[in-house]
Structure 1
Amino acid sequence: MKEMDNYLNLIPIRNEKVELRKIEGKYYLMIPMESKLDFLARRLHGNYRRLELDEIGAYVWELCDGTRNVEEIGKLLKARFGEKVEPLYERLLTFLIQLQRRNLIRFR
């Protein structure tokens, strides 16, 4: 559990180039395709890669504004969604680490 405590103090910050959009009732992260290697994907899908999020994921994304640490985000999630987010910090950290690996957020 000590390792998790280290993560709770980190502050996740969104990649400014990535935008959250609600399209036809679903949430998507719109990720710009900027690499030269993305030219074929751009021709097929437009200028953005989409990553669909559920309501909880979209809320977490909004909270990653550089002002709250992981622990504070967890408390807000618990207040809004209750038992739906349990086990809270395991799920939250798994999601945030996935976002970090895709360069969608960074930690401070």
Structure 2
Amino acid sequence: MAKKKDAGKNYLDFVPVRNPSFDFTVADDGIVTIAVEWQGFYHRIAQRFFRRPRVSDIKLDAYGSFVWQAIDGEKNVYTLSQELEAHFGEMDKALSRLIKFLEIMHDHKIISWKEEGQ
């Protein structure tokens, strides 16, 4: 449903905001690890009977770590893509990779989009 709501808008104008309920750490090499706590009835069953962890660590690659650290709640997707290209040089399909990364993070509620007018 969210895709239909966002269908008429330009992704370049979206401003990503980190979800403060997710803890993260930054290693010495700059790699970000996000801790995702699994909650809910089905997750508790999986934890108890299938020995699934209560908290999963999501380790981002160099590109994702750079973008995660660049998200400040003020920069839009276009600005982030310019910083990504400036830092890593020529990348194949940098903008589409960035948008896909942000969509995945949004789908898992790790980031949200800042509402216009705030």
Taking structure 1 as the reference length, the TM-score comes to 0.79
Q: Distance in 1 between matches of 2:44 and 2:104?
A: 25
Distance 1:77 1:34, change over 3 A: same
Matched, 1:8 2:15: no
Moved over 6 A (4+): none
Question: Of the two, which has the highest radius of gyration?
Answer: 2
Amino acid at match of 1:37: Y
Does the residue aligned with 1:17 lie in a helix, a strand or coil?
coil
Q: Which residue of 2 aligns with 1:28?
A: 33
- 1:30-49 matched pairs, under 5 angstroms: 30-42=35-47, 44=51, 46-49=53-56
Percent of pairs with identical residues: 26
- 1:43-62 matched pairs, under 5 angstroms: 44=51, 46-62=53-69
- Return 5+ residue gaps in structure 1 as ranges: none
Count of residue correspondences: 104
Root-mean-square deviation (Å): 2.5
Q: Of Structure 1 and Structure 2, which has the larger fraction of its residues in strand? A: 1
Q: Of Structure 1 and Structure 2, which has the larger fraction of its residues in helix? A: 1
Amino acid at match of 1:7: Y
Give the superposition deviation at 1:23.
5.9
Q: Distance in 2 between matches of 1:51 and 1:41?
A: 19
- Return 5+ residue gaps in structure 2 as ranges: 1-6
